[in-house]
Structure 1
């Protein structure tokens, strides 16, 4: 978790601060010709030095989070989306899009599947982010930009018994649903965009509740597949 460092030692306030003696008139006049921003800058530099010293004493960064999941060479091979496929029609007819990014701070992988070759009406996206440097829990509660851009309030609901923390996020229109799971240093995401839940493109009619249940099931299978 990215937080302000906490200092174990309390500030020493045992000795009172020294009180400056009043300046003589000529001394006050001379002091008035100095640049006050230099004094302020000096205070900032001194405070920064103290803060940096504290960070150095504590260790300049928190310990790297523990990764319990492996990086995948091809997320589309690990994310089968079998349960969602039963609702969306065949999600394996069209070649999926697989992406990876191995940054020193975060390893990321994504897989995008949809149910038709032409204009899709049901798009499933899985994403895995393995954080190597910092705890991702601070940003976990941030809703996806796509859901926030939808008119109206984003609906959130906690999902029990899935990782350390899990939430289902639904856009105001209900077309976009995102399941996010936090487990240690890993963040898993399964997102479904549905143009309609009615019968279309050789897939049966469904509803948002059934889609959410399928997302949870496919998420469980993905996490098992990537577990170290």
Structure 2
């Protein structure tokens, strides 16, 4: 279970104005409850066009993580698999994109339902290495997909994880986003579930346990990619 101290002392609900629907792409198949998880790699990859200025000369931000050539191999999702079932049993969806401004890698996973039943949990991991601009200036800006989400968003700081980290929990607690900034690198782990109640032979899942597993798997991923 995550304690209040682990997630920070204050939760706040952000009033976000609904926007137009996001277009889901990629991933192991469409799911109405995961309309926003498919296209997570594109948004970060197109922002860095200018130079990061330091004094009177341009300088590139320091990147202390390696570029992942197969994020689904680097992202083990061990803790989440212990809750939801093996996240690597079904074929992962792995994508990379190299741009002069940002190197981005994405891994899409879904759990394997018991006795051949359909999966009910999707996980998306993303790593963006910003090569030209400092991502800290935009890290706290509202995510476009959460802004478009019609329900409420509960946000809490996560201490002792990178330079800054936040956990977003959407209304209904079926979509969670953990986002971490560390230097010029932004990490994201998202979990979307049709339900966290008992289903398909899987026991009911406590939302705090899911958040704790996301944090544990994030730490392992960051350690695996550290130079």
Using the TM superposition, give the Cα deviation of residue 121 of structure 1 relative to its aligned residue in structure 2, in angstroms: 1.7
- Which residue does 1:100 correspond to in 2? 96
SS at match of 1:182: strand
Which is worse superposed, 94-103 or 204-213?
204-213
If each structure's helix is expressed as a fraction of its own residues, which one has the higher value? 1
SS at match of 1:161: coil
Pair 202,145 (structure 1): closer, same or farther in 2 beyond 3 Å: farther
Once the two structures are superposed, what CA deviation does each residue of 1:103-129 show, in whole Å capped at 9, x if it has no partner?
A: 110000000110137753210110000
Q: TM-score, normalised by structure 2?
A: 0.71
CA distance in 2, matches of 1:160, 1:86: 24
Name which structure has the greater RCO, CA cutoff 8 Å, separation 6+. 2
- Which residue does 1:214 correspond to in 2? 213
Q: TM-score, normalised by structure 1?
A: 0.71
Match of 2:67 among 65, 71, 82: 71
Pair 208,144 (structure 1): closer, same or farther in 2 beyond 3 Å: farther
Pair 227,155 (structure 1): closer, same or farther in 2 beyond 3 Å: same
Which is worse superposed, 195-204 or 211-220?
195-204
- Corresponding position: 1:122 with 2:121: yes
If each structure's strand is expressed as a fraction of its own residues, which one has the higher value? 2
Q: Which runs of 5+ in 2 are unaligned?
A: 1-52
Aligned residues: 171
CA distance in 2, matches of 1:87, 1:143: 29
Whether the 8 Å CA contact 1:143–1:169 is kept in 2: the answer is: no
CA RMSD of aligned residues (A): 1.8
Pair 163,78 (structure 1): closer, same or farther in 2 beyond 3 Å: same
Q: Which runs of 5+ in 1 are unaligned?
A: 1-54
